[in-house]
Amino acid sequence: MKAIFLYDYTGFMAQPWLDAGYECWLFDGQHPEGVTREGNLIKVGMWFDPYKLREHAAKIADLVGENVVHIFSFPECTDLTNAGSGSWAKKRAANPMFQQEAVTLAQLAAVVADKTGCDSWAAENPVGKLSTLWRKPDFWFDPCDFGGYLPLNDRHPLYPDIYPPRDAYNKKTGIWAGKDYVQPFRKRIEPFHKDNPGWAKCGGKSTRTKNIRSSTPRGFAIANFQANAPHLRGLV
């Protein structure tokens, strides 16, 4: 069985699926060009064009093949999140369609779901324009809502100086999902930080700081897997 992760560089979301023996496909422009296989982990270097969405989805479906059981997407939020609203006027002057293009890219998971026949799909984005330019999310969460899935001695594996142990921070995030997606069970802990420390400690526009700010909450990744893996739901 296979799972697809779109706009995914770190692989945090895929790790629980890998550990359980699923074949995981990560698509992101930051991966090396082409297809790189590391056992059940397959990384595909692919940038996405909002005007070629169905073409991209068809290529993804062709590469991955049959038996796709889950799709999760992390579309770029810079042009949609309220935190970046200060630059919207300048961006709109340069490209009046910049937000519509961002919304189209956010819809990639739904298009890939249509091509693969997998209705267990979801896309995440923080508070912003996606709620009005696409539709309301199916639910909201903060990373600390799933901190209880991580051990007491937890330490962030990539950014320990930025993110507190056990995802103990707030970052209001929406989930847009397909009909077969199951909302994960929450194991909330109290946050150390009222706001996302990725924004507070990582200014600038570099790819690195964007990766830090958008880093997947690992507790949510575990909860998402436990709620949606077919073998845990008794579907296989």
Collapse the DSSP code of 83 into the 3-class scheme (helix H, G, I; strand E, B; otherwise coil) and give the result.
helix
Topology adopted by domain 2-228: Rossmann fold (3.40.50)
Res 211: pLDDT: 61
**Does residue 117 carry a pLDDT above 60?**
yes
Res 203: pLDDT: 52
**150: amino acid identity, one letter:** L
pLDDT tens for 42-76 read 999 999 999 999 999 999 999 999 999 999 999 98
Res 213: pLDDT: 63
Give the integer Cα–Cα distance in Å for 61 and 58.
5
Give the integer Cα–Cα distance in Å for 210 and 166.
21
Q: Where are the domains of the chain?
A: 2-228
What pTM does this model have? 0.91
